[in-house]
Amino acid sequence: MAGPNTKWDALAAFLEKSQPDFVCLQSCADMPYELYQNDLPVNGNAEVTCGYFNYGSKQRPIEYYVAHYQSGDESIAVMARIEAPEREEEDKRAYTLLTPKKGLPPLIGITQLGVTCYSVCFPDHLATAEAEDALHRLVDEANETNLGQWMVGGSFFHNPEELEKSLSKEVYWGLPNMGTFRLQTCDYFVGSLPMMIKSPASQDLVSDHSSVQAEFK
């Protein structure tokens, strides 16, 4: 569990204010959750752990289902807001882990509201051509899962104009109007449905990246 005055307190404050349906996280090895499932090995020592966490209080709960993937120093997670009537069904919620190619980043996603939301973090050392190839492969994987509409949010470590070459016109970009990391627009959304971006969503979260919030239409 995280202690007081940490990045998780800032996240809890943001969730209390905005209560988004999904949250995409990257580099989140120590994120808090109550574990109820820990038997989902993926590759080698990597695994997906699933659970939930109340970011509110007992009187005003703000609960999120958490799917968390970690392999070595890499970790990503996606969270989905739990509606009170669905509480007993959360351990049955579908998550998806896509690993398109060795050496390329995985996506972890949760399906809710007819949308599968994925979180991804590209390695910051990927050359532009490699990052473009990775994005194309991830888009193909997301399209082929037959889980309905989809969106990918994360740290791409490349500006979108570097990566959008030859992507289908049916793929939408949710772009902030300012830099999110070292003056680059590296954090954004790509998806199969139009979206509107609030940019940045919060400057209060403890990170060297500015967070981005998307509303899909």
Helix (H) or strand (E) holding 149: strand 149-155
Domains plus CATH for the chain? 7-216 (3.60.10.10)
Whole-number pLDDT of residue 120: 93
**Is the N-terminal amide bond of 100 cis, ω within 30° of 0?**
no
In a structure prediction context, what are the per-residue pLDDT tens digits for the chain, which is 217 residues long?
344 457 788 888 888 888 899 999 999 888 888 766 555 545 555 678 888 888 888 888 898 988 888 877 788 999 999 876 666 666 556 677 777 666 677 888 888 888 899 999 998 888 999 899 889 888 888 888 877 899 999 999 999 988 887 677 788 999 998 888 988 899 999 999 999 987 666 666 778 888 898 888 7
Calpha distance 69→135 (Å, rounded): 19
Calpha distance 8→77 (Å, rounded): 14
The tens digit of pLDDT for each residue in 93-141 reads 667 777 766 667 788 888 888 889 999 999 888 899 989 988 988 888 8
Calpha distance 192→41 (Å, rounded): 29
Helix (H) or strand (E) holding 34: strand 34-41
Calpha distance 86→68 (Å, rounded): 20
